[in-house]
Amino acid sequence: MNGLQTDLIAALPELFVLSMAMFILLADLFLKPSNRIVIFLLTQITLLGAAFITISTHNPSVSYAFSGMFVDDSFADVMKLMIYLSTSLFLVYTRAYITLRGMFRGEFYALVLFAMAGMMVMVSGQHFLTLYMGLELLSLCLYALVALDSDNARATEAAMKYFVLGALASGMLLYGMSMMYGATGSLNISEVASALLNGSQDKPVLVLGTVFIVAGLAFKLGAVPFQMWVPDVYEGSPTAITLFIGSVTKLAAFAFVIRILAQGLYVLAIDWHGMLMIMAVLSIIIGNITAIAQTNLKRMLAYSTISHVGFLLFGLMSASMNGYISSMFYIVSYVLMTLAGFGMILLLSRKGFEAEQLDDLKGLNQRSPWFAFMMLITMFSMAGVPPTLGFYAKFAVLQAALQAGFLWLVVFAVLMAVIGAFYYLRIVKLMYFDEPIDHTPINNPPEMNMLLSVNALALLALGIMPQRLMDICAYAIAHSLQ
């Protein structure tokens, strides 16, 4: 009985979110469409409640649950809090957008909560199967979300692509996991790690398993050469869903990578860090160079994501504590930037009009100097120009890579960052130097305007005072990884 109690306490946030998701699904049946705002509020309350539970059950020690399949440690808690926060922002940014496009339905919110539960399991999984279950829960919800606007042919196509390729990646991941199981005799992350330490396994099987696992992970992250789906899905999905895929889910994907590579397979770092290095380099090259040619803002941000993933891998490939902390800092910064960036597209969209072409940003400084300034901060942050958060994110991963001895790779990465700066500058150019072609007033709910401003200003404020965030990341990693 006592064991069950600890199990339940460790998984309390997940249980709460799941029950609320089901409750919302039911409650939606009894609500008139005009009262649907209640669903939105209930979802926000769920997030708040989950955050409350996570914080109040937090302690710095690591506790395992469900026979070691599930873990509640500081890393999981911090990542979950980030997931709640970014999901909450995501919901505020998208409310007006989905209302105008007929997606403001109970299913939307239920799916988001289910997806979030999946992410929470990914963050807390300590067993290949738990992790995989979380991933699939997330992925299935995402496929459905992309296709939610069923009259939209582009979105349906994107969902199809996402599904087929996503299933393929999951398959690779599973295959890799099964090889690990074959070699080590366990699916439990900690047991795999200690079995690997003994080092009596068949090396080719391990390496092959690692290759498949890394390939699967790279697909989920969107690293080159597994990036093909990213631009198509980003462009085809309704912008609201793109925002979700581009920001919140990356947190889960990162946690997933940390759990498997840094916790489970750290002994094999010598094998996977070379793979990550190649993917990092390729992602930075292809992401940055291809982004220049884009005219569609969402596609451009998709390639920008790919290059950000490259930088993220720079931190991970160092395979050191410093590297993991830096990449965690990077992913958190990245999510905040992406939320602000896509938030701005949502802000400029209106009924029957998607502000997804670069030209739609033209002359924004004349239409709304305030939001032009917010976008300016976001773009410079993505480009990694101080005094914004993006600079410290790049700084952190580059110093980690340099500490690990990759001097010339770092030099290469900064040269590519200059190319990257070009397309962010182009957006600033469009907003500030060009005349507007569209004079429609920007009209959005006040809470969205306010939170988006806070979001963008946070990029600046955290750029001036990054220490707290660094401390949080250091705390999370240091208390969770050996």
Contact footprint for another protein (CB under 8 A): 365, 369, 376, 380, 385-387, 391-392, 395, 398-399, 402-403, 407, 410-411, 414-415, 417-418, 421-422, 425-426, 428-429, 432-433, 466-467, 470-471, 474
Q: 3-state DSSP call for residue 428?
A: helix
Q: Judged by CB, which is closer to another protein: 159, or 398?
A: 398
d(CA 462, CA 470): 10
Shortest distance in whole angstroms from residue 331 CB to another protein = 17
Task: Give the separation between CA 399 and CA 465, rounded to whole angstroms.
Answer: 18
Structure tokens at 266: 């750290």
Closer Cβ to another protein, 115 or 372, answer by number = 372
- Please state, in angstroms and rounded to a whole number, the distance separating the CA atoms of residues 357 and 272: 38
83 or 385, CB closer to another protein? 385
- The answer to whether 282 and 384 are in contact (CB under 8 A) is no
- Between residues 410 and 448, which has the closer beta carbon with respect to another protein? 410
Q: Output 241 or 377, the one with its CB closest to another protein.
A: 377
* Total count of residues recorded for the chain: 482
Cα–Cα distance for residue pair 439/309, rounded to 1 Å: 36
Rounded to 10°, the helix 12-29/2-10 angle is 70
Quote the least distance from Cβ 272 to another protein, whole Å.
Answer: 24
- Least distance (Å) between residue 399 CB and another protein: 5
Would you say 293 or 407 has its CB closer to another protein?
407
Rank residues 91 and 413 by Cβ distance to another protein and give the closer one: 413
Could you tell me the smallest distance in angstroms from the CB atom of residue 427 to another protein? 12
Kindly state the smallest distance separating residue 396's Cβ from another protein, in Å: 8
**Rounded distance, CA 110 to CA 397, Å?**
36
Distance CA 91, CA 443 (A): 17
Looking at the Cβ atoms of 153 and 407, the one nearer to another protein is 407
CB of 312 to another protein, least distance (A): 18
Instruction: Give yes or no for a cis peptide into 225 (omega within 30° of 0).
Output: yes
Q: Check if the beta carbon of residue 245 is closer than 8 Å to that of residue 142.
A: yes
CB of residue 329 vs another protein: minimum separation in angstroms? 9
Question: Which secondary structure element, helix H or strand E, spans residue 70, and what is its range?
Answer: strand 70-72
- Radius of gyration (Cα) for the chain, nearest Å? 21
Q: How far is the CB of 429 from another protein (least distance, A)?
A: 6
Q: Can you tell me the distance from the alpha carbon of 52 to that of 236, in angstroms, rounded to the nearest whole number?
A: 36
**Least distance (Å) between residue 438 CB and another protein:** 19
3-state helix vs strand vs coil in the chain, percent to 5? 80, 5, 20
Q: Which is nearer to another protein, 249 or 368 (CB)?
A: 368
Least distance CB 404 / another protein (angstroms) = 10
- Tell me the torsion sign for CA atoms 156, 243, 311, 381: positive
Q: Which burial class, exposed, middle or buried, applies to 471 when counting CB atoms under 10 A from its CB (0-12, 13-18, 19+)?
A: exposed
Residue 20's CB: how many other CB atoms inside 10 A? 22
Q: Are 318 and 400 in contact (CB under 8 A)?
A: yes
Residue among 93, 89, 66, 61 at smallest CA distance from 76:
61
Smallest distance, Å, CB 309 to another protein? 20
Beta bridge partners of 353: 350
Give the residue with the Cβ less far from another protein, 6 or 366.
366
How does DSSP classify residue 7?
H
Q: Which is nearer to another protein, 164 or 464 (CB)?
A: 464
Beta-carbon contacts of residue 301 (< 8 Å; ≥ 6 apart): 234, 246, 338, 341, 342
